[in-house]
Amino acid sequence: MKKMVVLALHAGYWILYLFLLFIIVLCLQVGAKMKTITLFTNFSFKVFMASFTILPAILGFYVFYYLLFNKFLIRRNILLLFVTGILAAIGISFFSAGVMSVLHTYKIGPGVFSENYVAIVTILTVITIIAILNGGMGLLTRGFIRWYAELKWKEELTRKHFEMELALIKSQISPHFLFNTLNNIDVLITKNAGQASLYLNKLSGIMRFMLYETKTERILLSRELINIGQYIDLQRIRTANPNYVSFSFVGRADQVEISPMILLPFIENAFKHADNKKNENVIRIRIEVNEKQLIFDCENRYSASGLKQEYGGLGNELISKRLELLYPGRHTLAINKTTDIYSVKLELSIHED
């Protein structure tokens, strides 16, 4: 939690405390039919209120806040916290009473101490209660600040953890894709050197995209589509059927920004598990952009007998978690699987609220 927020929290507490004291004194005056102006302008009364209610409150709050919280509560030693808290509050009451006595010696403030031991015990008891109550509020305040800080830290840790896992997925997928593509280009060199050079440039473009452009939080959708198109073209080398995969885009991509590598993992998954490359439209990919949303549809046919165990497993789970982090409340993801078709539909809100 930022320092300014913590300071505002402390200032807010003391403002409320002083306001409560003001209301209590006001009620006492009304009950005693005393003049409000006279009492609030009386110097002795101000000194008494400061030493009787404000000094023990401040001491109790910050002794509990700084010392007892770190010493006992954070270690969950409740018994010692209770005993030490009582002793600390009693010590604060004697200290405050001593301050009041010294002030009275120098004729500052009212003479509240006398030989009446009942009155002395009553005053010490009330001051002790004030110290304990404010000390408890100090513990609650420190606990809330610590809880909030740990919550933000855990969120950041979770974000970094998912980013590392996603990077691991990329490092697992990309080498396989690179190895297969290089083999295909190597075979193509002997048949059509010009076409092999074209595909090699596409592969270079994909590697450049993954190395440099995926590090940013947002990229233009048009750049993401170029990368997807290059990836699909390289996958087409593996089959002589030009209609094995269909890819279409509707809308404008030059004015929309998205997080990089949001769509491609689903496409990679489709190619990884698609069945029978000789058939038409085994993989169908469609991306549409309207005024509010980006709609991504991807489906592929597969053979249940040849379905690998990891299909739609860890990879999709991590991508789903990444979507929750990057587009909280601004996306819907639907993954459906029938006997022979696996489909993914993703809707992203392209405008932040």
Q: How far is CA 223 from the centre of its chain?
A: 29
3 state DSSP class of 292: coil
Cα 174 to Cα 206, 231, 260, 308, 336: the distances in Å are 10, 11, 15, 19, 25
What confidence score (pLDDT) does residue 272 get? 83
**HSE of 196, CA atoms in CB hemisphere, 13 A:** 12
| Whole-angstrom distance, CA of residue 59 vs CA of residue 320 | 50
What confidence score (pLDDT) does residue 169 get? 53
| Whole-angstrom distance, CA of residue 71 vs CA of residue 315 | 45
Overall size of the chain counted in residues: 353
What confidence score (pLDDT) does residue 167 get? 61
Q: Go through the domains of the chain in sequence order and give each one's CATH number.
A: 3-152 (no CATH), 192-349 (3.30.565.10)
User: Residue 299 contacts by C-beta under 8 Å, 6 or more apart in sequence?
Assistant: 270, 283, 284, 341, 342, 343, 344
> φ, ψ for residue 306 (rounded to 5)?
-100, 10
3 state DSSP class of 259: coil
3 state DSSP class of 263: coil
Q: What are the beta bridge partners of residue 250?
A: 288
Strand order in the sheet with 331-337: 245-250, 283-289, 293-301, 341-349, 331-337
Q: What are the beta bridge partners of residue 245?
A: 283
Tell me which amino acid residue 342 is: Y
pLDDT tens for the chain, 353 residues long, are 678 888 999 999 999 998 998 888 777 666 555 555 455 566 666 777 788 889 999 999 999 999 999 888 888 888 999 999 999 999 999 998 888 878 766 666 555 555 567 778 888 899 999 999 999 999 999 999 988 888 887 777 677 766 666 665 554 455 667 777 888 888 888 888 888 899 889 888 888 887 777 777 889 999 999 999 999 988 888 777 878 899 999 998 888 999 888 898 889 888 888 877 778 889 999 999 998 899 999 999 887 655 544 444 446 677 787 788 788 888 999 999 888 899 999 999 887 65
Class of residue 105 by CB neighbours under 10 A (exposed 0-12, middle 13-18, buried 19+): exposed
Q: Does residue 138 contact residue 65 with C-beta atoms inside 8 Å? A: yes
Nearest to 224 by CA among 246, 249, 244: 249
Q: Does residue 72 contact residue 81 with C-beta atoms inside 8 Å? A: yes
Kindly state the tokens that stand for 249: 């885009």
Tell me which amino acid residue 263 is: L
Q: Does residue 274 contact residue 302 with C-beta atoms inside 8 Å? A: yes
| Whole-angstrom distance, CA of residue 51 vs CA of residue 101 | 10
| Whole-angstrom distance, CA of residue 257 vs CA of residue 265 | 18
| Whole-angstrom distance, CA of residue 332 vs CA of residue 318 | 15
Tell me which amino acid residue 15 is: I
